[in-house]
Every structure is written in structure tokens, then in C-alpha cells.
Amino acid sequence: AQSVAQPEDQVNVAEGNPLTVKCTYSVSGNPYLFWYVQYPNRGLQFLLKYITGDNLVKGSYGFEAEFNKSQTSFHLKKPSALVSDSALYFCAVRIDGGATNKLIFGTGTLLAVQP
């Protein structure tokens, strides 16, 4: 069965420090991987995606993620965190060649950036 795991419920980081939000996946086939961000009582906003090509993907607001096929991971990173980055982050996966765009979401990681 396909699944996505976000092993940390919460990540705390000081403003200006680098941040990493972890995501691992389990799929049969080539994965399409996504990161979304959610601010309180709002919908999800797209950050970035990996479909094919370079393993390092750059997205919105200075975020990037690295696809690692051998470790089945797609960790979200940012070199210097901002207080405004504090939000709930979701990793998601869908199957390449699938008949639909159905996504499987992780349980989310709350990022708290302290000033």
C-alpha cells in the first residue's frame, strides 16, 4: 500500500537557522512528490513538487526539497528560517501513471520558528 510518513509532529527552530522537515514515502512505481503549507484556518498552499529530473527542487518562499530515491525521502529544507514560516506542512505523493491525481498525504508537521 502507498503511504507517506512525516515522523515529526513538530519542529522547532530559531529564526535565521536552517530548517528541515522530514518526509519518507512508500509507493510501487515512480512517485510524484509534493509539499504543501497550511496557515491556521486556511486551505493548503502548494510549495513545490518533484516529478522527474534534478533531485533538488526549488519552490516558493525560499524552500527547497531533495528527492532521494535510495532512502525514499523528500525532505523540505530552507537555509534560513523566518518567523513567518511557522505553519503546518504536509508532504504528499501520487503515483506516476495513475488514472487519477489522487494524493496521499502525510499527517503534517507543525513548524515553529522562534524569534
Partner 1 sequence: DGGITQSPKYLFRKEGQNVTLSCEQNLNHDAMYWYRQDPGQGLRLIYYSQIVNDFQKGDIAEGYSVSREKKESFPLTVTSAQKNPTAFYLCASTPAGGDRRNEQFFGPGTRLTVL
* Residue 54 interacting with partner 1 (CB under 8 A): no
* Residue 61 interacting with partner 1 (CB under 8 A): no
What is the C-alpha to C-alpha distance for residues 33 and 107, in angstroms, rounded to an integer?
15
What is the C-alpha to C-alpha distance for residues 78 and 88, in angstroms, rounded to an integer?
15
* Residue 112 interacting with partner 1 (CB under 8 A): no
Closest to partner 1 by CB, 78 vs 94, is: 94
Least distance between partner 1 and beta carbon 98 (Å): 10
Q: Restricting to residues 67-106, which ones interact with partner 1 according to CB under 8 A? A: 90, 94, 100-103, 105-106
Q: Which residues have a Cβ under 8 Å from the Cβ of 107 and sit 6 or more positions away?
A: 6, 9
Closest to partner 1 by CB, 50 vs 113, is: 50
Least distance between partner 1 and beta carbon 115 (Å): 25
Burial class (CB in 10 A: 0-12, 13-18, 19+), 79: exposed
Least distance between partner 1 and beta carbon 17 (Å): 26
User: Residue 92 in contact with residue 103, Cβ under 8 Å?
Assistant: yes
